[in-house]
Amino acid sequence: MLEPSEIKSIDDILNDTHGQRGILIAVLQRTQEKIGYLPEDAMKMIAERLGLSLSQTYGVASFYKHFHFKPRGKKIVKVCMGTACHVRGGKAVLTELESKLGIKEGETTADRAVTLETVGCVGCCALAPVLTVNDQDLYGELTPKMVDDIIHSVRSEHGTHV
Amino acid sequence: MTTKMVNMEFDGKAVSVPEGMTLVDAAATVGVHIPNLCHIKELRGVGACRMCMVEVEGMKTPVTGCTTRTKEGMKVQTKTAKVEEIRKFVTDLILSFHPLDCMTCPKAGACDLQRYAADLKIQESSFGRKTFNYPLNDRSPFITIDNNYCILCGRCVRVCKEQGTNVLDFMGRGITTKVSTALDKPLHESGCTFCGSCVDACPVNTIMERDRWQHGREWDLEKKDSVCTACASGCSVVVSKKNGKIVKVNAREDNGYLCAIGRFGFDSQNAGNRVTAPLIRQGSKLAPAEWGEALKAAAEGLKKGGANAAFLASGSLSTEEAYAIQSLARDVVGSANIDTNASAYAAGLVSALRAMHGNAGIGIAAQSELASADCVVVIGADPSQKRQKLQEVDVMIRRRAQAGAKVVVISTEKTDLAGHQNAILLQVKAGTDAVAVAGLMSAVLAEGVDPSAKGLDGLKKVLISAADAASASGAAADTIAAAAKAYAAAKNPVVVIGTGVSMSEDASMQALNLALVKGAGVLPLMLEANALGVLQAGCHPDLAPGFAKVKKTGQGYREMLVGAKAALVAGPLADGNLKADFLVVMTSHMSPLAEKADVVLPMTALYERDGSITNVYGVQKSFAAAKDPEGVAKNGAEIAAELSLVMSKTKGFKMKDVEAAVKKLKAGKQSAASFKPVAAKGANAAAVSATAMLSAMNAGMLAESAVKKVLVDVSTAVSR
């Protein structure tokens, strides 16, 4: 169920864009900004107000990787799977993270602390393999052995650079 | 509406086809097949699959046959080396991710992909094989979705969307796109009505009837054309049997839609409540009996009733059955008391139609008329797929709305149809329909429509101003104006009059006026499959067969319910509170009324019957039995004929007499336009609401059918 404040935010977004054509994606973006993801009740509310079917609304939203339908963690860990990182063992790092966090790629830990994702290329191939946290902190030249420390620092409030 | 024909060539053959039709459809009309995987007749082409590429003289590159439209002088080549090469490539690509298990696939023989692969001589894809390992989605009743076979043509998504059910869509993107519901929920939790349009649309075996696996392959099936008689739409179907048992029912292509009851309701044929043998009352129980004894008992009881006996014929009976029953009543038993359910739910409409007919020649809108309407005015009707009310009519209207037609809904509540974005709702207070329609008419005239052109000069005198109508009915003045604008501008309008107003002669009259002023087609929404045909057959106290006047009028529906010496009821009744000293019920399934009967005679059920009906569009449809009857059940006309001979050797009649008489009837007043209904007795004599009637209509048949559970689920499920 949505919180009253969340309902109010979606309502504001919909009022704000009322009557505009082709506004669905913008509404979805702004809703996700407010709530962090797109809960089912929010999707229902949007579909109904825009006069679309729920399946159509999900059809559009699921096309974009940017939209999420499940709650996401406080920290988003993105492991690079680009060519350079792949060659230098990015997959092994991901596998280790998956087993240590107890979740699969794309999932979030039960305490909603960490979401684990993969990314195409971050653009610093010299440091491969790399991962980013919340698109801000960067960890480079990784090995599976470093995963424990990384998890520890990610879970603590202030992550430290390696 | 006449379509302009153009002369053109397909593969060098000169043909004449309608202008502006897609090449795929136009080719089909002259027997040329252009391969396609994503095209659906009547729906806008999307040009997605690239199988329908053809070469058109004067165009540089091949074009898609599903989006290119016919023009005078066009020369089309459908089988050149160039287009064959393209089709081969497309099929090759599709086969790279489509399992090649045709040897066990239940769709084999009816699969478009299989057919094209064979035609193009492709055994195996020349690309690497991609497998998805999607789990089989068999979480819903009646329909399974196996995405592993899906070729992403989008036919299912489009039919679902066009008809307004809107539960399927593409989820995700690229090669991992999946056809599914929102959040991949089971169909019955997504607002699906289980009409199965997606099953008929699927070119492969992704979306299938749930129990098709190992229940006969296409070439094992014996196919018979039939007609569903569960509601007024009377949809044309193809019944498929294996070993004498029905295994599936599909919509016939020209019908385009079939609801869950017509498609999956056939399990009712051998349900526990099916009556398979005659029953005679013995004390507090009904005991099975031989036909001879049962007919004798029924004959004796009806004889005692004589001129006071009551006869009630359901509108679900075939014209033959109805004719035989009125013949039994009037000629053999000698009673003038005969009526049908329509008198209980549409008496006002019937009498209004008759009153208008003499001077204006009003016609029932054909299905094709509704299919091309650019404005539909729905008065007092709530056709709804979600609430299982005349689903097919709802689909036809929604398809038009989806194509941009305006739908004006005049109703006391916000109906499902009124929720469509192209709908204009005039929400009126109870009992003010007539006023609202009259006000709408004023507004239509204000838009410049001239009633004198239609010979309706007197109309202006009886009108109410739009402003007065608005304040009296509670409908907003600006919505009345918007509705009037849409209706006045329409080229092919259709006015649908539902049972919500049809008990009121005044409201029906106003609705007919509105139709006449624009020359719109009228669709009087009867509810039962053969409501019109049963009237035509003379099952009415004032009507002899062929809408002739009777010599002696008898009792009507409501009077008969109170208590007759003897009564015969054939088919489901709107009101089960019938009282009679001696009661004969002819039925296919047990019902509360049948439980009270003294004699129950087993009738053939859906798809077991033969005969003919006149459906809601005024179309006469004949159908043959698609399956042998269960037990010793017989056609109602046959039962009536045998009963007549038991009662009187001299006055009795035979089945062939009935057939000959009905043939004459049909020849006499064939077309919808010449339909002449006659006034019902007392416009407000016996109001039975549409909802009550609809639930009574198929209650017996569906009582133990799996469809019933789904229908309940659907109506309580989350809305779209």
Query: ipTM of this predicted complex?
Result: 0.83
- Which of A70-79, B283-292, B599-608 comes out lowest in average pLDDT? A70-79
Q: Does A47 touch chain B (CB under 8 A)?
A: yes
Instruction: Count CB atoms within 10 A of the CB of residue B129.
Output: 12
Q: Which residue of A has its CA nearest to B181?
A: A55
Q: Which residue of A has its CA nearest to B183?
A: A58
Distance CA B278, CA B585 (A): 10
Residue A142 distance to chain B (closest CA, Å): 31
Distance CA B282, CA B285 (A): 5
Question: What pLDDT band is residue B90 in, cutting at 50, 70 and 90?
Answer: very high
Instruction: Give, for B239, the enclosing helix (H) or strand (E).
Output: strand B236-242
Is there a contact between A58 and B161 if contact means CB atoms under 8 Å apart? no
Is there a contact between B183 and A40 if contact means CB atoms under 8 Å apart? yes
pLDDT higher than 90, residue B367: no
Distance CA A122, CA A72 (A): 21
Average pLDDT over residues B498-511: 73
Q: Which residue of A has its CA nearest to B171?
A: A59
CA diameter of chain A: 55
Side-chain half-sphere CA neighbours of B185 within 13 A: 16
Is there a contact between B183 and A56 if contact means CB atoms under 8 Å apart? no
| Strand pairing report for B543-544 and B521-524 | unpaired
Is there a contact between B166 and A57 if contact means CB atoms under 8 Å apart? no
Residue A105 distance to chain B (closest CA, Å): 17
Is there a contact between A47 and B720 if contact means CB atoms under 8 Å apart? yes
Residue A156 distance to chain B (closest CA, Å): 34
Distance CA B362, CA B497 (A): 13
Which residue in A51, A55, A64 is closest to B169 by CB distance? A55
Q: Does B402 touch chain A (CB under 8 A)?
A: no
pLDDT, tens only, B182-191 = 999 999 999 8
pLDDT higher than 50, residue B674: no
Residue B193 distance to chain A (closest CA, Å): 15
Q: Which residue of B has its CA nearest to A58?
A: B182
Is there a contact between B166 and A40 if contact means CB atoms under 8 Å apart? no
Q: Which residue of A has its CA nearest to B423?
A: A51
Average pLDDT over residues B464-491: 91
pLDDT, tens only, B601-636 = 999 999 999 999 999 888 889 999 999 999 999 999
Distance CA B41, CA B295 (A): 50
pLDDT higher than 60, residue B330: yes
Chain B residues touching A63 at Cβ < 8 A: 170, 172-173
Which residue in B161, B173, B720 is closest to A54 by CB distance? B720
Which sign does the torsion angle of CA A145, A150, A155, A160 carry? positive
Q: Does B172 touch chain A (CB under 8 A)?
A: yes
Give the pLDDT confidence score for residue B365 in this predicted structure.
79
- Find all residues with CB under 8 Å of B33, minimum gap 6, and list them: B27
Nearest to B422, CA basis, from B411, B412, B435, B408? B408
pLDDT higher than 60, residue B357: no
pLDDT, tens only, B8-62 = 999 999 999 999 999 999 999 999 999 999 999 878 889 999 999 999 999 999 9
Distance CA B475, CA A10 (A): 31
Q: Does A69 touch chain B (CB under 8 A)?
A: yes
Q: Does B175 touch chain A (CB under 8 A)?
A: no
Using only the alpha carbons of chain B, give its radius of gyration.
Answer: 27
- Secondary structure tally for chain B: helices H, strands E: 25, 28
Is there a contact between B183 and A47 if contact means CB atoms under 8 Å apart? no
Is pTM beyond 0.90? Reply is no
Chain A residues touching B173 at Cβ < 8 A: 62-64
Distance CA B530, CA B314 (A): 9
DSSP H helices, chain A, are 4-16, 24-35, 40-50, 54-63, 83-87, 90-101, 147-155
Q: Does A57 touch chain B (CB under 8 A)?
A: yes
Q: Which residue of B has its CA nearest to A57?
A: B182
Distance CA B636, CA B294 (A): 14
Average pLDDT over residues B671-681: 38
Instruction: Count CB atoms within 10 A of the CB of residue B329.
Output: 26
Distance CA B405, CA B422 (A): 7
Q: pLDDT higher for B465 or B136?
A: B136
Q: Is the peptide bond before B524 cis (omega within 30 degrees of 0)?
A: no
Give the pLDDT confidence score for residue B432 in this predicted structure.
82
Which amino acid, A124? C
Question: What pLDDT band is residue B673 in, cutting at 50, 70 and 90?
Answer: very low
Give the pLDDT confidence score for residue B361 in this predicted structure.
42
Give the pLDDT confidence score for residue B676 in this predicted structure.
39
pLDDT, tens only, B297-307 = 999 999 999 99
Q: Does A37 touch chain B (CB under 8 A)?
A: no
Chain A residues touching B161 at Cβ < 8 A: 53, 56
**Percentage with pLDDT > 90 across chain B:** 62
pLDDT, tens only, A124-153 = 999 999 999 988 899 999 999 999 999 998
Chain B residues touching A64 at Cβ < 8 A: 173
Give the pLDDT confidence score for residue B552 in this predicted structure.
86
Residue B188 distance to chain A (closest CA, Å): 14
Three-state DSSP class for B231? coil
- Find all residues with CB under 8 Å of A158, minimum gap 6, and list them: none
Would you give the DSSP letter of residue B312?
E
| Residue among B166, B176, B386 with most chain A CBs within 10 A, to mutate | B166
Residue A66 distance to chain B (closest CA, Å): 12
Is there a contact between A51 and B168 if contact means CB atoms under 8 Å apart? no
| Residue among A45, A46, A54, A67 with most chain B CBs within 10 A, to mutate | A54
Give the pLDDT confidence score for residue B368 in this predicted structure.
84
Nearest to B228, CA basis, from B157, B316, B288, B301? B316
∠ CA B353-B493-B160, nearest 5°, is: 110
pLDDT, tens only, B140-155 = 999 999 999 999 999 9
pLDDT higher than 70, residue B543: yes
Q: Look over chain B and give the mean of its residue pLDDT values, rounded to a whole number.
A: 88
Are residues B87 and B76 in contact, defined by beta-carbon separation less than 8 angstroms? no
Q: Which residue of A has its CA nearest to B179?
A: A59
Give the pLDDT confidence score for residue B675 in this predicted structure.
38
First to last CA, chain A: 40
Give the pLDDT confidence score for residue B360 in this predicted structure.
36
Phi, psi of B143 (to 5 degrees): -130, 135
Nearest to B255, CA basis, from B234, B230, B232, B285? B234
pLDDT higher than 50, residue A160: no
Nearest to B301, CA basis, from B287, B316, B311? B311
Is there a contact between A59 and B183 if contact means CB atoms under 8 Å apart? no
User: How many A-B residue pairs are in contact by the CB < 8 A criterion?
Assistant: 40
Distance CA B475, CA B471 (A): 7
Distance CA B221, CA B248 (A): 9
Chain A residues touching B171 at Cβ < 8 A: 58-59, 62
Which residue in B161, B167, B421 is closest to A51 by CB distance? B421
| Residue among A24, A28, A52, A55 with most chain B CBs within 10 A, to mutate | A55
Is there a contact between B168 and A58 if contact means CB atoms under 8 Å apart? no
Chain A residues touching B167 at Cβ < 8 A: 53, 55
pLDDT, tens only, A93-105 = 999 999 999 999 9
Chain B residues touching A47 at Cβ < 8 A: 720
Distance CA A24, CA A33 (A): 14
Phi, psi of B529 (to 5 degrees): -55, -40
Three-state DSSP class for B274? strand
pLDDT higher than 50, residue B215: yes
Give the pLDDT confidence score for residue B586 in this predicted structure.
97
Side-chain half-sphere CA neighbours of B460 within 13 A: 10
Instruction: Count CB atoms within 10 A of the CB of residue A92.
Output: 14
Which amino acid, B484? A
Which residue in A40, A56, A62 is closest to B166 by CB distance? A56
